[in-house]
Amino acid sequence: MIKITDITLCTFNYKAAPEHKISQLYSLLLQTGSSYIEIDIPLFELMEKAVDKAKTVLRIHYPTQINTFPGFAGYVCRFGSFETPLNLISEIQVNDIRELNQITKYTKNKNVRIIGLDDLLLHDYVNTFAKIKEIFSGRLEFCPQNRYYCATALAAEWALNEGKNIAVSFCGAGGFAALEELIMILRIAKRHKPNMDLSVFRKIKELYEELTGYQIPGNKAVIGDHIFDVESGIHVDGILKKSSNYEPFEPTVVGMSRNIVIGKHSGKSSVEMKLKEYGVIPKNEKISLLLTRIREESIRLGRGLNDSEFISIARKFS
């Protein structure tokens, strides 16, 4: 079984955020299908009452701190040590494939998280994965970093090549693989569905933007506001007939809806669908004239038309 550890809460400065907002984000992340949520000691002390230890991994500085903070599902410690409890994961930084031979120094560690390997996708990653698995006999977790913008692809390939444990963050926060993208990839490619309802990603997105001040791009995979905007006429026609030819998942899966954008590339199907949506019925012989007017206005504005602009034009042809 694939186990995903979400490390989002360890990637940004939460000290200025209200405690109840951080607790809310923690609760929402638990609903994504992640097996565990990773937090550090200061964050645990901030929201101790909200923490479900059975589903939480605690980041510590020294193995001895396990005795001070008992009861967590697991612990993560940079480098760790050889003589450690079974639930301690030793985190090892491997910046790129040239440093891979260094991991043999840690073969005695019972559980290991390899963090880094940004460039692995440029090499024979399948055989590299196999070699890494041969070196470690205990729990092996992969946490790829995103310097070359390949982290999510690496995390997915790790899982698709029988890797069992992965560490990721929401929206790739902190420079890691993106939780929401990995969850969706595994849902589609591996039928991995720990959580049937992924509309929670919309709630997390809004809260994450509020807490970090970062505006997630509209074209961001899975959670972007505009990923289901469709303008091209042939695409709209195709989606209406069989959406799976164009979309790997339905908008409703992530709590969104499809938006037909009317612009210079729109065709008859797009316009008719939009007209039906607003109950505007133009005369058939005027559809071509309406299309021409829409294209002219879209070119003049240098963008697609918003709904009010479209309806204003359409009513003149009804």
| Single residue among 187, 212, 237 that ends a domain in this structure | 212
The reply to whether 262 and 196 lie within a common domain is: no
Q: Is 245 exposed, middle or buried (0-12, 13-18, 19+ CB in 10 A)?
A: exposed
> Residue 315 pLDDT > 80, yes or no?
yes
pTM of the prediction?
Answer: 0.87
- Classify residue 221: in a domain, yes or no: no
> Residue 233 pLDDT > 70, yes or no?
no
Q: Tell me the residue length of the chain.
A: 318
The reply to whether 104 and 251 lie within a common domain is: no
Q: What is the mean pLDDT of residues 122-136?
A: 92
The reply to whether 89 and 201 lie within a common domain is: yes
Question: Which amino acid, one-letter code, is at 154?
Answer: L
| Total number of domains constituting the chain | 2
- Residue closest to 86 by CA, chosen among 104, 70, 74: 74
Distance CA 111, CA 84 (A): 9
> Residue 143 pLDDT > 90, yes or no?
yes
Question: Which amino acid, one-letter code, is at 28?
Answer: L
Q: How far is CA 88 from the centre of its chain?
A: 26
Confidence of residue 84 (pLDDT cuts 50, 70, 90): low
* Domain span at 249: 229-316
- Classify residue 222: in a domain, yes or no: no
| Single residue among 212, 244, 262 that ends a domain in this structure | 212
Q: Please report the pLDDT score of residue 146 as a whole number.
A: 96
The reply to whether 203 and 296 lie within a common domain is: no
Taking only the tens place, the pLDDT of each residue in 268-312 is 877 887 888 888 877 777 888 888 999 999 999 888 888 888 888
The reply to whether 85 and 206 lie within a common domain is: yes
Distance CA 181, CA 156 (A): 9
Distance CA 194, CA 33 (A): 5
The reply to whether 206 and 270 lie within a common domain is: no
Taking only the tens place, the pLDDT of each residue in 238-277 is 887 888 888 889 899 999 988 888 888 888 877 887 888 8
DSSP 169: B
- Classify residue 218: in a domain, yes or no: no
The reply to whether 182 and 250 lie within a common domain is: no
- Classify residue 220: in a domain, yes or no: no
Q: How far is CA 6 from the centre of its chain?
A: 10
CATH code, domain carrying 8: 3.20.20.70
> Residue 82 pLDDT > 60, yes or no?
no
Beta strands 112-116 and 36-40 are unpaired
- Classify residue 13: in a domain, yes or no: yes
Residue 209, both tokens: 């933007």
Distance CA 52, CA 189 (A): 30
Confidence of residue 55 (pLDDT cuts 50, 70, 90): very high
The reply to whether 134 and 239 lie within a common domain is: no
| Single residue among 159, 182, 212 that ends a domain in this structure | 212
The reply to whether 264 and 153 lie within a common domain is: no
Q: How far is CA 195 from the centre of its chain?
A: 14
Q: Are 198 and 253 in contact (CB under 8 A)?
A: yes
- Residue closest to 136 by CA, chosen among 80, 73, 64, 61: 80
- Classify residue 224: in a domain, yes or no: no
Q: Are 93 and 115 in contact (CB under 8 A)?
A: yes
Beta strands in 61-139 (DSSP E): 74-78, 88-94, 112-116
CA within 13 Å, CB half, 80: 28
- Classify residue 91: in a domain, yes or no: yes
- Classify residue 284: in a domain, yes or no: yes
The reply to whether 128 and 244 lie within a common domain is: no
- Residue closest to 271 by CA, chosen among 258, 247, 288: 288
The reply to whether 83 and 148 lie within a common domain is: yes
CA angle, residues 304, 307, 308, in degrees to nearest 5: 115
Taking only the tens place, the pLDDT of each residue in 17-37 is 889 999 999 999 999 999 999
The reply to whether 189 and 286 lie within a common domain is: no
**Burial call 102-130: b when 16+ CB within 10 Å, e when fewer:** ebeebeebbbbbbbbbbbbeeeebeeebe
Q: Tell me the pLDDT of the chain averaged across its residues.
A: 89
Q: Please report the pLDDT score of residue 241 as a whole number.
A: 82
Beta strands in 179-291 (DSSP E): 229-230, 259-260
